[in-house]
Amino acid sequence: MFIKALMISQQAQAQNFMPTEGTEIAGRVDSLYAFLLVTSAIACAILIGGMIYFALKYKRRTDTDKTAYITHNTFLEFLWSFIPLVIFLGVFAWGWIIYNDMRSFPKDALEVHVFGRQWAWEVQYKSGVTSNEIVVPVNRDVKIILTATDVLHSFYIPSFRIKQDAVPGRYTALWFRANKMGEFHVFCTEYCGTSHSGMITKLRVVSQTDYDKWLEEASNFKFLPLVDQGKQLFTTKGCVACHDVDAGTVKVGPSLHKKFNTQELLADGSAILVDENYVRESILNPSAKWVKGFTAAMPSFQGQLSEMELNALIEFIKSKAQ
Ligand code: HEC
Ligand SMILES: [Cu+2]
């Protein structure tokens, strides 16, 4: 049965029934899952099949037809209790072993910090590099240290079959060892507000050399022109979930395309020039002035952006004025 479960899990893989197995543990989770599926299917067939068979076989055919008077059968009852008990205990042990391996953190893992915020994942490397995608080397233990800056989020990599809550005010962690190169999805699986479904990040598994190269390039970030820094921040800080900058479309917040240096209509009927100070205030204290037709959906970024980052964001919004 174990072999069969394994075969089914491999077939499911081949037919894209399940997401790619990106780690060794993912394969073990799938085997257990396939085993549960197969034993459930067999139990279902025996139960429902047996019921239909006996219903037909012992159907009352004439008025005088009488069913034999049977109260119980100790041996049968023992069997149908004992066999499931053995299976359940087996499943428990099997699951426990996998779970234990998932939760035992390897020593010398590459540690990466990840913050959940409404509505983006922000990644911070030990070298100081921040990023909005997670890049890790293949065949290396990686430990993700999680926290959240506003509400509960949950960090989920379907291809690795691992998931962990990100809780404001404390650290949680998970680990994995990717054995396939490629791009994988990271989802938020704890409903966290309007754009929860857009809280998606890429996890890229690359070779050690590509990883070193990427890290070095990312380290040169502070030498990027302000506009380019702002552009990256606009994604990392999650602005992009609520603000369009290229097409003039309205998302949760107003489009910032061709917005700088124009007059903005406010909810109280007055108008204001969109200049550096207005943008700054909009970011740090969004409720100070409400744009007409919008709700107070924007979180305050007070304390979450350095002065340099603010400048970069403002320059980026400015660059979209043309
Ligand atoms: C949760 C959605 C959301 C996020 C995230 C968000 N904003 Fe906003 N933003 C809004 C909404 C809604 C408004 C309009 C209401 C108001 O004025 O507070 C707004 C207003 C603004 C304004 C004023 C725009 C205008 O037309 O006058 C600016 C500038 C701005 N946001 C910049 C940013 C930047 C920069 C970030 C990222 C650091 C950001 N926002 C993140 C929703 C968001
Ligand atoms: Cu979330």
- What are the structural domains, with CATH classification, of the chain? 2-103 (1.10.287), 110-220 (2.60.40.420), 225-319 (1.10.760.10)
For residue 315, pLDDT beyond 80 = yes
Separation of CA 153 and ligand 1 centre (Å):
21
Instruction: Taking residues 126-141, report their average pLDDT.
Output: 86
Of the ranges 55-69, 100-114, 127-141, 280-294, which one carries the lowest mean pLDDT score? 55-69
Separation of CA 196 and ligand 1 centre (Å):
17
pLDDT score for 321 = 83
241 lines ligand 1 (CB under 6 A): yes
Longest dimension (CA), the chain: 96
Predicted confidence (pLDDT) per residue in 35-76, tens digit? 999 999 999 999 999 999 999 988 888 888 777 788 889 999
Instruction: Taking residues 180-207, report their average pLDDT.
Output: 90
Distances (CA, A) of 54 to 43, 51, 58, 65: 16, 5, 6, 15
Alpha-carbon distance of 310 to 130, in angstroms, equals 16
Separation of CA 254 and ligand 1 centre (Å):
7
Instruction: Taking residues 75-86, report their average pLDDT.
Output: 93
Closest ligand to Cα 192: 2
Q: Which residues contact 4 (CB under 8 A, 6 or more apart)?
A: 38
**CA-based nearest residue to 242, from 298, 294, 317, 286:** 298
Separation of CA 125 and ligand 2 centre (Å):
21
pLDDT score for 165 = 94
pLDDT score for 63 = 80
117 lines ligand 1 (CB under 6 A): no
Whole-model pTM: value is 0.62
283 lines ligand 1 (CB under 6 A): yes
192 lines ligand 1 (CB under 6 A): no
pLDDT score for 140 = 92
Separation of CA 238 and ligand 2 centre (Å):
11
Q: Which residues contact 162 (CB under 8 A, 6 or more apart)?
A: 23, 25, 102, 156, 174, 176
Kindly report the CA angle at 240 between 239 and 241, in degrees rounded to 5? Answer: 90
The ligand 1 atom nearest the CA atom of 286: 18
pLDDT score for 11 = 53
Closest ligand to Cα 193: 2
Between 101 and 217, name the one with better pLDDT: 101
For residue 2, pLDDT beyond 70 = no
Separation of CA 193 and ligand 2 centre (Å):
7
The ligand 1 atom nearest the CA atom of 278: 29
Residue of 237, 282, 294, 317 to test ligand 1 pocket, by largest number of atoms within 8 Å of CB: 282
Residue 260's φ and ψ, nearest 5 degrees, are -60, 140
Closest ligand to Cα 318: 1
**CA-based nearest residue to 134, from 215, 197, 40, 250:** 215
Residue of 243, 277, 284, 318 to test ligand 1 pocket, by largest number of atoms within 8 Å of CB: 243
Q: What is the DSSP letter of 163?
A: E
Predicted confidence (pLDDT) per residue in 222-267, tens digit? 677 888 889 988 988 889 989 999 988 898 899 999 998 899 999 8
- To 10 degrees, what angle do helices 307-319 and 276-284 make? 120
For residue 189, pLDDT beyond 60 = yes
Q: Which residues are placed with Cβ below 5 angstroms of ligand 2, an ion?
A: 153, 188, 192, 199
Average pLDDT taken over every residue of the chain: 87
**CA-based nearest residue to 201, from 156, 245, 149:** 156
254 lines ligand 1 (CB under 6 A): yes
Q: Name the β-bridge partners of 148.
A: 116, 168
